[in-house]
Amino acid sequence: MDDEQEVPETRGVTSELLATLDLGAEIEGMEGRQLRMRMFAFEPGAVFGPLHDHVGRPGLVYILEGTITDHRDGVATEYGPGLGWPEDRHTTHWLENRGTETAVEISVDIVDQAQRR
């Protein structure tokens, strides 16, 4: 799939909430924020779209199995097991599994509990 094409909607992706931590109880000034850890599974051909940003929702991703392609700034970068990437306020991207096996990632981010996405 080419980054010039319209980004498809999410398909073939499942997520499981693994843990959360109320940051307001831990760090002054973080009221209403939560540290969240999720596991995502991407079937072959899966897409996590549409194009989305991480403004106000920074995070880190780590690949456990398979390969996930991260599309950002017109560049497609493949990440396999043991690799990952940061998602900061400058990140605008979408993801896909171009491979033939299920890909699994762990995603940890900080979210506003009132505006979870």
pLDDT digits (tens, 9 = 90+) for 37-79: 999 999 999 999 889 999 999 999 999 999 999 999 889 999 9
Are 17 and 38 in contact, with CB atoms under 8 Å apart? yes
Token pair belonging to 34:
């939560």
- Distances 98 to 14, 74, 80, 101, 103 between C-alpha atoms, Å: 16, 17, 12, 9, 10
Q: What is the pTM of this model?
A: 0.90
Contact 85, 95 (CB under 8 A): no
How many other C-beta atoms lie within 10 A of the C-beta of residue 23? 19
| Domain architecture of the chain: domains with CATH | 11-115 (2.60.120.10)
